[in-house]
Amino acid sequence: MSERLPFSCDYLQGCHPAILNRLQETNLEACDGYGSDSYTQKAKELILKACELPDGEVQLLSGGTQANLIVIAAALQRYQAVISADTGHINYHEAGSVEGSGHKILALPHRYGKITAQQVGDYMKVFTADANNEHMAQPALVYISQPTEYGTLYSAEELRQLHEVCQQYGLLLYADGARLAYSLAAAENDATLPILAKYCDIFYIGGTKCGALLGEAVVFSRKNLLPHFFTTCKQMGGIMAKGKLLGIQFATLFEDDLYLKVGKEAVSYADEIRLFLKTNGWQLLFDCPTNQIFVIMDDEKLEKFGKKVSYSFWEKTDDSHTVIRLATSWATTRQNVDDLLQVIEEL
Amino acid sequence: MSERLPFSCDYLQGCHPAILNRLQETNLEACDGYGSDSYTQKAKELILKACELPDGEVQLLSGGTQANLIVIAAALQRYQAVISADTGHINYHEAGSVEGSGHKILALPHRYGKITAQQVGDYMKVFTADANNEHMAQPALVYISQPTEYGTLYSAEELRQLHEVCQQYGLLLYADGARLAYSLAAAENDATLPILAKYCDIFYIGGTKCGALLGEAVVFSRKNLLPHFFTTCKQMGGIMAKGKLLGIQFATLFEDDLYLKVGKEAVSYADEIRLFLKTNGWQLLFDCPTNQIFVIMDDEKLEKFGKKVSYSFWEKTDDSHTVIRLATSWATTRQNVDDLLQVIEEL
Amino acid sequence: MSERLPFSCDYLQGCHPAILNRLQETNLEACDGYGSDSYTQKAKELILKACELPDGEVQLLSGGTQANLIVIAAALQRYQAVISADTGHINYHEAGSVEGSGHKILALPHRYGKITAQQVGDYMKVFTADANNEHMAQPALVYISQPTEYGTLYSAEELRQLHEVCQQYGLLLYADGARLAYSLAAAENDATLPILAKYCDIFYIGGTKCGALLGEAVVFSRKNLLPHFFTTCKQMGGIMAKGKLLGIQFATLFEDDLYLKVGKEAVSYADEIRLFLKTNGWQLLFDCPTNQIFVIMDDEKLEKFGKKVSYSFWEKTDDSHTVIRLATSWATTRQNVDDLLQVIEEL
Amino acid sequence: MSERLPFSCDYLQGCHPAILNRLQETNLEACDGYGSDSYTQKAKELILKACELPDGEVQLLSGGTQANLIVIAAALQRYQAVISADTGHINYHEAGSVEGSGHKILALPHRYGKITAQQVGDYMKVFTADANNEHMAQPALVYISQPTEYGTLYSAEELRQLHEVCQQYGLLLYADGARLAYSLAAAENDATLPILAKYCDIFYIGGTKCGALLGEAVVFSRKNLLPHFFTTCKQMGGIMAKGKLLGIQFATLFEDDLYLKVGKEAVSYADEIRLFLKTNGWQLLFDCPTNQIFVIMDDEKLEKFGKKVSYSFWEKTDDSHTVIRLATSWATTRQNVDDLLQVIEEL
């Protein structure tokens, strides 16, 4: 793959140099295990401060599927279910992990990756009215992604409405923030970390795709929301002995607001690429505001393109056209972008 | 903790410098995700070669509890159970993860952390003869640790016997090698990697406690032993997007036999500490051959000791005495050991 | 409820008198437990004979949700999923039991409760072609209901096609026969017991809704298809101590072909009711061939109707109309039907 | 088996004639499903009255393993575990069902089937003091059997002490009453239904072994102790469509105190058999106060005995002696006992 331009995903490279430097500096320091070290402590404090959550709580985990799996399993009683967009990452690309932990996913039709408060409310109205609803798994948590799997964003107002309908029906609101840095860096975004923390009961701040080697920070809007969550994490294989590896990374990402900056360039490069594509007559699937670009290519050009650029297949639109996804990341360089635009120009 | 001498465990520091150097060198290389990168490929080849397993298979995972959980869950049908020493790490200190995945642990009484082929055979004989055994969970896998939770070792002959009894009763033999480097470095050890690979159906080579930042390499003695194991790992949150982080570490640990060397100093320091303790009239719980030291202290001395050295509580022997555990590691220095001996001398 | 005419479901009354008589006659006989009694043995033999399955196997269980739950859980590995019509009983009205046992349901859009071999094939083609399919739960079993939740029937040819596509993709075909007696009694039915047994790997013959007090007979088309199935049943709470209670009922139902007769009257009454409704200008949702009747009523008439007849709500068609379901059963009498028709006439 | 005297267990025959008569009388009455019928309602009221639990709740289930499985699964969070005697029925003879639902059993050594408040308290003291207890499954429920698997009884005072220690450590106390009628009928018993209801948070009143065809009544000492318990039962396959089958049986058993009488004769016959054995020089394993008899036989006599009497193997005491278990039941006749004593006399 090394010869092709790296636009297939946002987890291709290692980590932000500042993180690797901190790992070097602290490598031989002896630290307590399992997240009781001072770096993890500091990371948690910085994250809660950035989220304006003085009474919140944080648990660092190692990956996104793991975070979704453990949070949902810990949040639900065994008779409860999750509401999600049908395109939710948990619904297809996590190998049935939510179901593997015993819970049904109730999939609502998405619109570019999003579901609305209206949809949730309508679903709950029908469910509540159903005389046989004790024969059905009880909806208890709404799963959303910010940004979504399509790179789209929930606005602050949309989150407020989702929060409201969740409160009305006793549902938890949980946001998967695997690519959160790229939402925070988007021009149109008004769902800041404090806004997310205000409207979501639980969300996670993605590290793996946003500058860390690995790691996701699960944020709880209030203390002890899920009792013995550490034990549940341990039971499900989510606790690292060397917790400082996660602590150092998140402490670095939240010092001097690095996390708010780390996605800026990526989104700005993505904007540039989208503009270039549109200007040059390419059709975008829709106008994504974050680091992902969905463009329709005819298959002949795609074949040539694929020899020079690594991309992701998204879906076929017809027999001779394909939607592909390109992704920029914190590691994308000026040179990468220039090379990409040139490849496209020459197709 | 920083001021105290670090002997409480073997996962206190970061990683072997050779690993961190490789992470630096490769940081901005774009690699395919989820373990399909070339470093992971290379790590697998080196491990299989070291194990003399041309037809084996390797999957890299991130932690020990996770490896035990996923391997056991993937290996067992839902009506099956695990045989383990009552002191097995899975039996108490993994928060019920094996049971959490649906499987009973049938605990046999240990002797310094070990169980024998005789015990397994006797158990199976009674089970097989029981007319009601279809009303019971069916034993299907024997879990052992090498070295054990007491730092003791299975000899090649003991492994052969366990293998034999497992074959006889249709059981899989699985070894937890969280501290495997310290067994391979022990003077008395004759259970080499190829021997383990020959007698165990599955085992894992510990990285986290043996020089890596994180990571365990699960080794299967034959291909496709557990079909779709990758999907099971994914479902249970065990697949890292940046798989190269594991690949680079294990590739480094298995180049130039680093893994066989990394525990040498630790065990030799532990031998030196044990000798010093015995020579100076301290009572060891027993004569451990690896990197752990179990020593009985009276509680008054222990209080003074604990101010200067971080150690692990093991158990009370009576009202005024305690067994503590000290552990050396790949990161233990000559200076650490000298300081420790001086602290002990001055108690 | 007693004053209203009993058409809300087919499990309202006790059991066929022949069964209760047998229970009386055998009540004080001492029988071995857990299904090892001679009545259970006889029931199994009669069922296998009726299915023309000399090498098949039968396990008696106590209810439909239980049968679905245990069969599917026993048939699947933990990384595997079920394909079902979105209207499949397992998908909504069993409280998430399949997911509770760890497995995702992949729901295909139904047509009057049915899915086609074409749909399954198309789904599998896309799945197989997906380069990321190892990140997804692996389809392994197709669940259908005969008759379906809409009372419709798979023809022998449709079953053959489903069987073929399942063979092609390595899927098991499993049929939920909660109301099987009413399919076997339907005029248009050509999927006899031997046909079901030929094309389905596993199916169950419903007792609860077809003349028994309780009980379902799970039929395996070949021996040892699911090893240690008894132990799985025991583990999941599905084994009755007094197995003879099930054995006697199924032995009675399969002596002198009672099971083939028990639904005849019910279906003929349902035909009569449907004809009457159509003749008198009522609109049926569609022309169901078995013991269920789906009729559209305006809500004013429905209110009057509901005072005299117990029925099931199915769905709203618009603000002032409702689809209701009426069901006949082995216990429906001539008088019940006459009374019903009169009630309808007077609406 | 029919020719041998039926003493192998207490679930060999059908049901108390009063029950079968009620089933006959009510057979063709149409009743609402899933336990919402009037018979179930009446059974619940009678049970709560007998337990002196005006604010309690009852759910009828179909079998003992099912009741244990569902109650424990519903009562525990996924990080929690059960404390049980090592001889607890859930620990071996239910095929790993508790673990199958995700929960570890923490087995304490029994004394004739019982554990003490002291043992529970000691266990919890150690657990609570363990600095690493967040790495362990959290004990949350104590499981006992009344009578135990050895037929022994907890006294009211022992139950009070267990209750007290459970309250102290935040544990639920749950009693498995598969054979409860035989404890209530025992001369030495002072743990009446109201006493059980006072000290246990949850217990079940066994029907299957105590005169019913099938069925166990789970009693909760307070309303809504386990929210949505019906849905959990449904999910785990525990809800019968024809709930009236259970309702009629328990309504019959609790009318005119039949349940308090149904075990009287059985226990009195067992007392007579024990006295006869002791008087005639046979050695009892211990002096059981309920319907089970544990006697040591030399294997030669046992072979002869086994030809005339069906018994249960319990354990070998040495190479030539065996402990067997005999059980009387509500169905045991005067003639059965006389025949048994004669067989023993002639050995």
Quick one: DSSP state of residue D332?
-
The chains found to touch C (3+ Cβ pairs under 8 angstroms) are A, B, D
The shortest C-alpha distance from D135 to chain A (Å) reads 6
Answer yes or no: do D138 and D172 share one domain: yes
In D, which residues are within 8 Å of C97 by CB distance? Answer: 234-237
Residue D84 has pLDDT above 70, yes or no: yes
Q: Is residue A113 a contact partner of residue A152, using CB atoms and an 8 Å limit? A: yes
Question: What element of type H or E holds C295?
Answer: strand C292-298
Query: For residue D331, which of D208, D206, D211 has the smallest C-alpha distance?
Result: D211
pLDDT at A205: 98
Q: Note the helical H segments in chain D.
A: 17-26, 38-50, 64-75, 89-92, 97-100, 117-129, 156-169, 180-184, 193-199, 229-235, 244-254, 258-261, 264-279, 299-308, 334-345
Q: What are C324's strand-pairing partners?
A: C295, C313
The tokens of A15 are what? 């980590």
| pLDDT tens digits for range D187-228 | 999 999 999 999 999 999 999 999 999 999 999 999 999 999
Say how far apart CA C253 and CA C18 lie, in whole Å: 8
In B, which residues are within 8 Å of D96 by CB distance? Answer: 79, 81, 102-104, 136-137
pLDDT at C1: 43
The tokens of D155 are what? 């006294």
Q: Which residue has the tokens 């975008």?
A: A284
Answer yes or no: do C270 and C337 share one domain: yes
| pLDDT tens digits for range C32-53 | 999 999 999 999 999 999 999 9
Say how far apart CA C145 and CA C200 lie, in whole Å: 11
Q: Do C9 and D310 touch (CB under 8 A)?
A: no
Chains B & C: contacts with CB separation below 8 Å: 48
C133 interfacial to chain A (CB closer than 8 Å)? no
C235 interfacial to chain B (CB closer than 8 Å)? yes
Q: CA of B142: how far to CAs of B132, B173, C241, D111, D311, in Å? A: 22, 5, 31, 29, 34
The tokens of D136 are what? 């362990």
Q: Do A103 and C92 touch (CB under 8 A)?
A: no
Q: Do B132 and D93 touch (CB under 8 A)?
A: yes
Q: Is residue A73 a contact partner of residue A51, using CB atoms and an 8 Å limit? A: no
Contacting residues for A160 by C-beta, under 8 A, at least 6 apart: A199
The shortest C-alpha distance from D173 to chain A (Å) reads 20
Quick one: DSSP state of residue D114?
B
Output the domain CATH number for residue C313. 3.90.1150.10
Q: What is the average pLDDT across B253-267?
A: 96
C238 interfacial to chain D (CB closer than 8 Å)? yes
For a pLDDT cut of 70, what percent of chain D falls above it? 99
Residue D1 has pLDDT above 60, yes or no: no
Residue D2 has pLDDT above 60, yes or no: no
Q: Which domain holds residue D139?
A: 17-256
C344 interfacial to chain D (CB closer than 8 Å)? no
Say how far apart CA C282 and CA C305 lie, in whole Å: 14
Answer yes or no: do C252 and C267 share one domain: no
Answer yes or no: do B115 and B213 share one domain: yes
Q: What is the average pLDDT across D308-313?
A: 96
In D, which residues are within 8 Å of A102 by CB distance? Answer: 102
Residue C64 has pLDDT above 70, yes or no: yes
Output the domain CATH number for residue D55. 3.40.640.10
ipTM summary value = 0.96
Q: CA of D128: how far to CAs of C316, D120, D132, D173, D312, in Å? A: 56, 12, 9, 18, 41
C 18-57 residues with CB < 8 A to A: none
Answer yes or no: do D232 and D333 share one domain: no
Pick among C69, C228, C234 to test the B interface (most B CBs inside 10 A) = C228
Nearest by CB to B79, which of C102, C137, C228? C228
DSSP SS3 for A144: strand
Residue C55 has pLDDT above 70, yes or no: yes
B137 — pLDDT class (breaks 50, 70, 90): very high
Please state the separation of Cα A162 from the chain's center in Å: 18
Q: Which residue of B has its CA nearest to A329?
A: B30
C241 interfacial to chain D (CB closer than 8 Å)? yes
Answer yes or no: do D188 and D237 share one domain: yes
pLDDT at B3: 81
A135 interfacial to chain D (CB closer than 8 Å)? yes
A213 Ramachandran zone, left/alpha/beta (phi>0; psi -120 to 50): alpha
Q: What is the average pLDDT across C7-15?
A: 96
Say how far apart CA A228 and CA A4 lie, in whole Å: 46
D3 — pLDDT class (breaks 50, 70, 90): confident
**How many other C-beta atoms can be found within 10 angstroms of the C-beta atom of residue B92?**
20
Query: For residue D149, which of D319, D332, D286 has the smallest C-alpha distance?
Result: D286
Q: Is residue C202 a contact partner of residue C174, using CB atoms and an 8 Å limit? A: yes
The tokens of B104 are what? 């009973």
Answer yes or no: do B47 and B188 share one domain: yes
Answer yes or no: do B174 and B316 share one domain: no
Q: Is the dihedral of CA A261, A262, A263, A265 positive or negative?
A: positive
Q: What are A57's strand-pairing partners?
A: A220
Pick among D69, D84, D99 to test the B interface (most B CBs inside 10 A) = D99
pLDDT at A3: 81
Q: What is the average pLDDT across C303-310?
A: 97
Q: Which of B258, B286, B312 is the last residue of a domain?
A: B258
pTM, 2 dp: 0.97
Domain count, chain A: 2
Q: Which residue of C has its CA nearest to A107?
A: C107
B134 — pLDDT class (breaks 50, 70, 90): very high
Q: What is the average pLDDT across C207-232?
A: 98
DSSP SS3 for D261: helix
Contacting residues for B215 by C-beta, under 8 A, at least 6 apart: B60, B61, B62, B63, B207, B208, B245, B246, B249, B250
Backbone angles phi, psi at A315, to 5 degrees: -165, 160
pLDDT at C3: 80
Q: CA of C63: how far to CAs of C196, C249, D325, in Å? A: 20, 13, 32
Answer yes or no: do C272 and C237 share one domain: no
Q: Do A102 and C103 touch (CB under 8 A)?
A: no
Query: For residue D35, which of D322, D251, D305 has the smallest C-alpha distance?
Result: D251
B66 — pLDDT class (breaks 50, 70, 90): very high
Residue C242 has pLDDT above 90, yes or no: yes
DSSP SS3 for A116: coil
Q: Which of C205, C226, C256 is the last residue of a domain?
A: C256
pLDDT at A175: 98
Q: CA of C252: how far to CAs of C44, C165, C244, D26, in Å? A: 11, 36, 12, 20
* pLDDT, tens digit only, all 347 positions of chain A: 458 999 999 999 999 999 999 999 999 999 999 999 999 999 999 999 999 999 999 999 999 999 999 999 999 999 999 999 999 999 989 999 999 999 999 999 999 999 999 999 999 999 999 999 999 999 999 999 999 999 999 999 999 999 999 999 999 999 999 999 999 999 999 999 999 999 999 999 999 999 999 999 999 999 999 999 999 999 999 999 999 999 999 999 999 999 999 999 999 999 999 999 999 999 999 999 999 999 999 999 999 999 999 999 999 999 999 999 999 999 999 999 999 999 999 99
pLDDT at B34: 96
In B, which residues are within 8 Å of D122 by CB distance? Answer: none
B12 interfacial to chain A (CB closer than 8 Å)? yes
Q: Which of C221, C256, C291 is the last residue of a domain?
A: C256
Answer yes or no: do C320 and C173 share one domain: no
Q: Beta strands of B146-220 (E only): which ranges?
A: 172-177, 202-206, 216-220
pLDDT at D137: 97
Q: Do A74 and D73 touch (CB under 8 A)?
A: no
Query: For residue A212, which of A347, A48, A330, A82 has the smallest C-alpha distance?
Result: A330
The shortest C-alpha distance from B130 to chain A (Å) reads 32
B60 — pLDDT class (breaks 50, 70, 90): very high
The chains found to touch D (3+ Cβ pairs under 8 angstroms) are A, B, C
Q: What is the average pLDDT across C210-235?
A: 98
pLDDT at B1: 43
Looking at per-residue confidence, does C169 or D92 come out higher?
C169
A342 interfacial to chain D (CB closer than 8 Å)? no
pLDDT at B276: 98
Answer yes or no: do B140 and B276 share one domain: no
What are the DSSP calls for C181-196, one per residue? HHHHT-TT----HHHH
Quick one: DSSP state of residue B10?
S
Q: What is the average pLDDT across D60-70?
A: 97
Answer yes or no: do C51 and C69 share one domain: yes
Question: What element of type H or E holds B330?
Answer: none
Nearest by CB to D235, which of C17, C97, C238? C97
Q: Is residue D326 a contact partner of residue D295, using CB atoms and an 8 Å limit? A: yes
Say how far apart CA A72 and CA A68 lie, in whole Å: 6
DSSP SS3 for B196: helix
Query: For residue C209, which of C311, C310, C332 has the smallest C-alpha distance?
Result: C332
Pairing label, strands C216-220, C202-206: antiparallel
| pLDDT tens digits for range D133-180 | 999 999 999 999 999 999 999 999 999 999 999 999 999 999 999 999
